[in-house]
Amino acid sequence: MPTFTDTTGRVWTINITVDTVRRVRNTTNVDLLDVAGGTLIDRLISDPVLLCDVLFAVIRPEAEAKQVNDGDFGRALAGDVIDAATTALLEGLVGFFPSPKRRVLTKALEKLNAWQRQALAAAELRLDSPELAAAVQAAFAAPPRGISSGDSPAPPEPMPAA
């Protein structure tokens, strides 16, 4: 079973069963079975608050045994822990399904991870490009629109006395 460690050092185990799916549905209105359709993964990756709520519903029995409430759990999810927790949750979901669907979901998850790595690498290349640096420098060097470099704004008109 996949695990992740929160920022306080607590280790959490992702164990997806039918009971887990039901508990997540009842407490978050999220259907973990929607992972097969693809939209759930996007929602979880783009919304860390939703991810935290779903994760807490998944690990609730373990959290209760450790006497950790949802607020404490949420405060312990930040930075790289969010990524590790997302990976653990997705791996747990893939492991929940029977073999034929599991193979397809495994392949989809591998593709998603590869695309994310490519997107991040492309963004880094763009941010490091000399062209971007030159464009930013040119934008800072240019005078504001509507004002030529020699013009200064006129002083405000005095208000007439009442």
For the chain, which residues make up each domain, given as ranges? 3-139
pLDDT tens-digit readout, 102-152: 676 767 666 666 666 676 667 777 888 788 777 778 778 877 776 655 555
Mean pLDDT along residues 9-24 = 97
At 128 the pLDDT is 81
Angle, CA 39 vertex, CA 30 and CA 56 arms, to 5°: 35
Contact 107, 99 (CB under 8 A): no
At 49 the pLDDT is 96
| CA pair distance 47, 77, nearest whole angstrom | 13
Contact 24, 92 (CB under 8 A): no
At 27 the pLDDT is 96
| CA pair distance 27, 58, nearest whole angstrom | 10
Q: Which of 15-29, 34-48, 133-147 has the highest mean pLDDT?
A: 15-29
Is the pLDDT at 45 greater than 90, yes or no? Answer: no
| CA pair distance 87, 109, nearest whole angstrom | 9
Residue at 82: amino acid letter: I
Tokens of 143: 């005078």
pLDDT tens-digit readout, 46-91: 899 999 999 999 999 999 999 999 999 999 999 999 999 999 999 9
At 113 the pLDDT is 63
Q: With H, G, I as helix, E, B as strand and everything else as coil, classify residue 12.
A: strand
Q: How far from the centroid of its chain's Cα atoms is residue 72's Cα? A: 19
- Higher pLDDT: 34 or 111? It is 34
Mean pLDDT along residues 151-157 = 61
| CA pair distance 75, 146, nearest whole angstrom | 48
- Higher pLDDT: 157 or 63? It is 63
Is the pLDDT at 24 greater than 80, yes or no? Answer: yes
At 23 the pLDDT is 98
